[in-house]
């Protein structure tokens, strides 16, 4: 028993305790920050699912290559151009 105490003195134990305490406080702060960010993103997701997007313009969405190319072509390099269908 006495040999263990000689290899792990009080000063080293105290420094380990201080580091552990600092690590725990940092972990708690990170947890609270991440939880707040999660709640914010969850609320945005729920708003988006319910269709009540707040605080901005609606963004048109399209999937696939054809709608993406049509949208890009409609902008044009010299400003919006009318979309001509063949």
Mean pLDDT to the nearest integer, 1-29: 85
pLDDT tens per residue across span 29-68: 999 999 999 999 999 888 888 876 555 555 666 677 777 7
Among 23-27, 62-66, 73-77, name the one with the lowest average pLDDT.
73-77
Nearest CA to 66 among 80, 50, 83?
Answer: 83
pTM of the model: 0.47
The CA distance from 18 to 11, in Å, is 11
How high is the mean pLDDT of the chain? Answer: 78
């Amino acid at each position: 028993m006495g040999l263990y105490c000689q290899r792990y003195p009080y000063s080293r134990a105290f420094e380990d305790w201080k580091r552990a305490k600092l690590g725990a406080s940092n972990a708690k702060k990170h947890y609270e920050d991440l939880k707040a960010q999660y709640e914010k993103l969850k609320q945005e997701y729920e708003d988006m699912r319910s269709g009540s997007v707040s605080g901005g313009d609606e963004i048109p969405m399209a999937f696939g290559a054809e709608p993406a190319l049509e949208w890009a072509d409609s902008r044009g390099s010299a400003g919006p151009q009318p979309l001509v269908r063949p």
